[in-house]
């Protein structure tokens, strides 16, 4: 029989605390580092190729498209794509993601996280093969469309598995490292295109295109060494399996662990909340001023992560360098590789330290520094355009490198590690957040090469203006979520009725952790989203 919350009792729990706070407290009391726990250490090693490494596919794609623009055979075969054609080549990847997004949660929630990763990986491998074998522009674009169709299955399931399998002590760091792996894929692709850019045959661009199968192949190879999500198993009535996984990896096999019992109850409560709110429509979700504010901030964050200039350097670096006189293909390839290496270094650094700083402060530093960088970048580009000043060209190059840590300190480090989920609570996080970046990424990637081609440095002014808006928005509307439970965040947003409901739930969850009764007989919504696994 599956475990029920009534089977999980603990006499030592503090009755004044809810399950989430109890989980956080017990995790903090555990002073043994992860690398000294055999089972947890093994789990994290397997997470690298199967889940954390999923972002390598996106990183490979952006850097490959950057690099292919320096490959002479690519330019010759596709008749020097610029402006609209180049935008379509790049943006079609995001369009594929948009097309399949409605079915991704169904696959992940019905087949499991592991099978969702397999489905996505197979689709991406087929797409990469078509892309590499392309005989014309249309076939190349179709291959990239399939690549885009596969990536949401893998990314959403992998990010969920990271949160649902990892120990709460390392969860935020692993979530941040997930984004850092983007740069590993970028480095590999940049190195490959640097090695093939001078090839006289079409293999100069076909080899990088074909090697895009590698991250997906790695995921398929290792995925069944990874346990399934306890959250998924509980949702399917397989509670005993879920409890065994939690005990094995979070308590080194101790089935009597108070911490594991609290985690189990926490997951059950969250799933119950999702079932209660699953059939609410958008009108109901936006009925209160608090939820409208939450959705506004969550959607704005999705907008900011895509429209802060990152799309320029990720996909169109060669065109930016062309506009400031750096036209040598070999030099452009080296710059592409150097920026990806530098991005990996600073992104990993911020992934490891971001949890030590208040999130709102990180976002403020991020947006203000990006505004200053883009202002200087725009001025230097204008000076080069007016006076053909080589010093201005070098200044633009310097700003490209400075941009990377300014962006990664918050928009990269915090994207998968807490802020969105704490502002837009389960289960609305997926509705209010995940779809926004994909839609905006398509628009951004399509428009950027057109703007660069037709407006030159003047196009950057639009980013300066928008970044100024970001600074103002973050300053006035972003809440500080560090060291606050969901109940405390609800008090910031919601009315007195909501506050009273949250207080009632605190007593109910604690009763389930160490008292009697079944969760199915109660209602509750107490959760610390940083610590609660989120549904794909």
The domain total for the chain is 2
| Tokens standing for residue 483 | 């060291």
Residues 462 and 530 in one domain: no
**Alpha-helix residue ranges (DSSP H) falling in 51-136:** 55-68, 72-77, 83-100, 104-111, 113-132
| Tokens standing for residue 435 | 């779809």
Range of the domain at 529: 232-279+507-536
Nearest of 84, 89, 42 to residue 66 by alpha carbon = 89
* CB-based contact 75:205 (threshold 8 Å): no
Domain boundary residue, one of 435, 456, 477: 477
pLDDT at 302: 80
Residues of the chain under the 50 pLDDT cut: 1-3, 8-17, 426-433, 485-488, 491, 493, 495-500, 502-507, 509-510, 512-536
pLDDT at 431: 44
pLDDT at 44: 95
Residues 196 and 303 in one domain: yes
265 in a structural domain: yes
Nearest of 158, 195, 165, 200 to residue 179 by alpha carbon = 158
Cα–Cα distance for residue pair 14/513, rounded to 1 Å? 10
DSSP for residue 488: H
Residues 339 and 403 in one domain: yes
Residues 430 and 416 in one domain: yes
Cα–Cα distance for residue pair 207/189, rounded to 1 Å? 10
* CB-based contact 355:172 (threshold 8 Å): yes
Domain boundary residue, one of 437, 456, 477: 477
DSSP for residue 416: T
Residues 260 and 293 in one domain: no
How far, CA to CA in Å, does 99 sit from each of 59, 94, 148, 378, 444?
21, 9, 9, 35, 17
81 in a structural domain: yes
Nearest of 273, 264, 259, 260 to residue 238 by alpha carbon = 264
409 in a structural domain: yes
Residues 520 and 469 in one domain: no
* CB-based contact 95:518 (threshold 8 Å): no
Residues 409 and 516 in one domain: no
* CB-based contact 83:453 (threshold 8 Å): yes
Residues 146 and 73 in one domain: yes
Domain boundary residue, one of 477, 492, 519: 477
Nearest of 219, 222, 238 to residue 230 by alpha carbon = 238
Element (H, E) at 491: helix 486-493
pLDDT at 278: 64
437 in a structural domain: yes
Residues 149 and 269 in one domain: no
pLDDT at 2: 45
Residues 394 and 512 in one domain: no
DSSP for residue 7: G
25 in a structural domain: no
pLDDT at 358: 87
| Tokens standing for residue 179 | 């984004």
Cα–Cα distance for residue pair 474/368, rounded to 1 Å? 10
23 in a structural domain: no
487 in a structural domain: no
Q: List b or e across 395-416, with b for residues whose CB sees 16 or more CB atoms inside 10 angstroms.
A: bbbebbbbbbbbbbbbbbbbbb
- Residue 74, domain CATH: 1.20.1250.20
pLDDT at 138: 95
pLDDT at 273: 76
* CB-based contact 189:67 (threshold 8 Å): yes
Residues 300 and 250 in one domain: no
501 in a structural domain: no
Cα–Cα distance for residue pair 9/254, rounded to 1 Å? 15
| Tokens standing for residue 222 | 């290792």
Cα–Cα distance for residue pair 244/23, rounded to 1 Å? 17
Residues 236 and 222 in one domain: no
């Amino acid at each position: 029989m599956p475990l029920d919350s009534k089977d999980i009792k603990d006499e030592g729990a503090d009755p004044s605390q809810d399950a989430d706070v109890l989980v956080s407290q017990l995790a903090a009391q555990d002073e043994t580092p992860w690398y000294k726990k055999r089972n947890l250490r093994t789990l994290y090693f397997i997470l690298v190729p199967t889940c954390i490494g999923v972002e390598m596919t996106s990183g490979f794609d952006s850097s490959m498209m950057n690099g292919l623009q320096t490959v002479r055979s690519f330019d010759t075969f596709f008749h020097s794509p610029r402006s609209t054609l180049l935008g379509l080549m790049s943006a079609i990847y995001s369009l594929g993601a948009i097309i399949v997004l409605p079915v991704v949660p169904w696959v992940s929630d019905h087949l499991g996280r592991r099978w969702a990763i397999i489905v996505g990986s197979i689709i991406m491998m087929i797409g990469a093969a078509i892309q590499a074998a392309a005989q014309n522009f249309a076939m190349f674009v179709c291959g990239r469309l399939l690549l885009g169709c596969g990536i949401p299955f893998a990314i959403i399931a992998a990010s969920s598995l990271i949160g649902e399998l990892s120990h709460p002590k390392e969860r935020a760091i692993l979530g941040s490292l997930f984004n850092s792996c983007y740069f590993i894929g970028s480095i590999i692709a940049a190195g490959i295109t640097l090695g093939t850019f001078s090839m006289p045959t079409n293999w100069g661009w076909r080899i990088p295109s074909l090697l895009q199968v590698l991250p997906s192949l790695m995921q398929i190879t290792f995925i069944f060494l990874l346990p399934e999500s306890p959250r998924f198993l509980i949702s399917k009535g397989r509670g005993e399996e879920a409890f065994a996984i939690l005990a094995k990896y979070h308590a080194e096999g101790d089935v009597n662990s108070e911490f594991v019992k609290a985690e189990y109850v926490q997951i059950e409560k969250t799933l119950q909340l999702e079932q209660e709110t699953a059939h609410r429509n958008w009108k109901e979700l936006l009925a209160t001023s608090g939820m409208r504010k939450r959705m506004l901030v969550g959607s704005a964050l999705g907008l900011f992560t895509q429209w802060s200039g990152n799309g320029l350097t990720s996909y169109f670096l060669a065109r930016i360098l062309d506009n400031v006189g750096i036209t040598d293909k070999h030099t452009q390839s080296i710059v592409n590789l150097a920026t990806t290496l530098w991005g990996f270094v600073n992104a990993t650094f911020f992934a490891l330290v971001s949890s030590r700083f208040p999130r709102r402060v990180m976002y403020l530093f991020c947006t203000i520094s990006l505004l200053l960088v883009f202002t200087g970048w725009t001025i230097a580009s204008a000076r080069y355009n007016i006076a053909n000043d080589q010093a201005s060209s070098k200044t633009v190059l310097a700003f490209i490198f400075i941009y990377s840590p300014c962006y990664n300190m918050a928009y990269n480090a915090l994207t998968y590690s807490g802020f969105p989920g704490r502002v837009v609570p389960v289960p609305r996080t997926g509705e209010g957040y995940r779809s926004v970046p994909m839609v905006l990424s398509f628009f951004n990637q399509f428009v950027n090469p057109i703007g660069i081609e037709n407006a030159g440095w003047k196009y950057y002014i639009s980013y300066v203006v928008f970044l100024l808006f970001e600074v103002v928005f973050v300053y006035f509307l972003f809440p500080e979520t560090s060291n606050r439970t969901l109940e405390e965040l609800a008090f910031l947003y919601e009315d007195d009725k909501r506050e009273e409901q949250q207080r009632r739930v605190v007593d109910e969850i604690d009763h389930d952790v160490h008292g009697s009764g079944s969760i199915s007989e109660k209602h509750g919504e107490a959760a610390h989203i940083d610590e609660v696994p989120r549904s794909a």
